[in-house]
Amino acid sequence: MLTKKSLLKAVKKEQRKLPENIVLKDLAGCSNEEFIYNAFKFVLNRKPDPIGKHFYLSKLRKGELTKEDIMITLRYSAEGKEKSVKIIGLQKDILLNRFLYKSKLKKLAKKLKSAIFLLTHSYHHKPPAQFTDLSPKEYAEFEEHFRGKEEDIKKKFNVYTPVISDILEKFKIELINAVDLGCGRGDWLEILQEHGVYALGVEINDFFLNRIKEKNLSAVKADIFDFLKKTEDDTFHIVTAFHIIEHIDINLRVKFLREILRVLKKDGICILETPNPRNIFVGSGDFYRDPSHITPFFPDSIQFVGKTIGFSDSISYFIEKDGLVEIDKYHFDSLENYISVSRDFAWIGKKQNKSLMQKGKKV
């Protein structure tokens, strides 16, 4: 019979299987994603958290840290010292001094880069001025009142289950990098976690960030344009933004899509959801209930723009009870069609592997 004592014994036995010594060159030969995963697994005896994973991948790609630097950071962190794993081939004193010196230089360079950015960029993505008087908590209450409670929104997200399943078939689940831009309360982060994907959220509202922390989810406080600008090319397998694009200035929406395309990995996918102006109630009035909404984005317009700027697949869908319906298969033959069509629509864009596109193949 399985008892608490026997279960603890089995867990400890599994933990002892991890190597006490690690050979640095064995890990250094892995791809960046595999290296980060294995470094956390062997040095800290756990999977990388989304924030740490994104941080170290970004540093690796930018050349700001080497794999040796990351191993030093993990090994001599408080958590790493507790695990006390021996890393063969790690020259602690030489590498540690080099790492500290590089860190000081990088901090100075970062401050300089930030100062230049502030001087040369006159705009930031912010809600319209007339709605900024609401506190983060007040706006969160406003959104929950009009958009819906968490359990209702999460049920609606079930429509995307086939899309998630498709991406999970293409990539190793532990190596998937996913980000939800404007993640709000973290409803979509929870859905991804239920599928085994530990995603990173990006949010500017402090009240929402506290809610996310209470749920033990991962998110960073950042403006979505600033976050995308600082993200390296080909970083994420999944990028999502639910009810965000209607808050973005019309002159910045193509830039937003271009940035998403840039940070997506080959064969990666983007899901956007936004109010559907083809629904007569939404288009004629309900859209403007939230004063921070700027203008609607028509489903066929974003479908055309996505294809034009380089997404291999760019398809808008109406969100019906039975699932996602391509907009081109929905007919507006009567007033009833304009009334009954979904109040929100989804746009899904895919970034195809260039080598396969040249061969005329589809993934």
The answer to whether residues 263 and 232 touch, using CB atoms and an 8 Å cutoff, is: yes
Query: Greater confidence, 237 or 122?
Result: 237
Q: Say if residue 133 is in the same domain as residue 110.
A: no
Which of 34-48, 68-82, 228-242 is the most confident on average? Answer: 228-242
| Residue finishing a domain among 115, 149, 183 | 115
Q: Is the pLDDT of residue 221 over 70?
A: yes
| Tokens matching residue 229 | 């600008």
Q: pLDDT tens-digit profile of 149-207?
A: 888 888 899 999 999 999 999 898 888 999 999 999 999 999 999 999 999 999 999 99
Q: Say if residue 83 is in the same domain as residue 188.
A: no
Q: Where are the alpha helices (DSSP H) in the chain?
A: 4-16, 24-28, 32-39, 50-62, 67-75, 78-83, 92-120, 136-147, 150-156, 161-170, 187-194, 206-214, 224-230, 253-263, 280-284, 299-309, 335-340, 354-358
**pLDDT bucket at 274, cuts 50 / 70 / 90:** very high
Q: Say if residue 155 is in the same domain as residue 302.
A: yes
Number of domains in the chain: 2
Give the rounded percent of residues in the chain with a pLDDT score beyond 70. Answer: 78
Length of the chain: 363
314-340 core/surface letters (b: 16 or more CB in 10 A; e: else)? bbbbbbeeeebbebeebeeeeeeeeee
Q: Say if residue 208 is in the same domain as residue 322.
A: yes
| Over residues 41-63, mean pLDDT | 88
DSSP, collapsed to helix, strand or coil, labels residue 267 as strand
Q: Which strands form 236-242's sheet, in the order they lie side by side?
A: 218-221, 200-203, 178-181, 236-242, 264-275, 344-350, 313-320, 323-326
Domain-embedded: residue 317: yes
| Residue finishing a domain among 85, 115, 145 | 115
Q: Say if residue 162 is in the same domain as residue 230.
A: yes
The CATH number assigned to the domain holding 289 equals: 3.40.50.150
Q: Say if residue 174 is in the same domain as residue 312.
A: yes
Q: Is the pLDDT of residue 104 over 70?
A: no
The answer to whether residues 180 and 200 touch, using CB atoms and an 8 Å cutoff, is: yes
Q: Is the pLDDT of residue 147 over 50?
A: yes
Domain-embedded: residue 146: yes
Closest CA to 200 of 263, 158, 247, 145: 263
Beta bridge partners of 221: 203
Domain housing 97: 17-115
Burial class (CB in 10 A: 0-12, 13-18, 19+), 299: buried
Domain-embedded: residue 333: yes
Q: Say if residue 315 is in the same domain as residue 273.
A: yes
Q: Say if residue 261 is in the same domain as residue 153.
A: yes
Domain-embedded: residue 143: yes
- On the CB side of 81, CA atoms within 13 Å amount to 3
Q: Say if residue 111 is in the same domain as residue 133.
A: no
| Over residues 4-8, mean pLDDT | 54
Domain-embedded: residue 42: yes
Q: Say if residue 110 is in the same domain as residue 162.
A: no
Q: Say if residue 98 is in the same domain as residue 174.
A: no
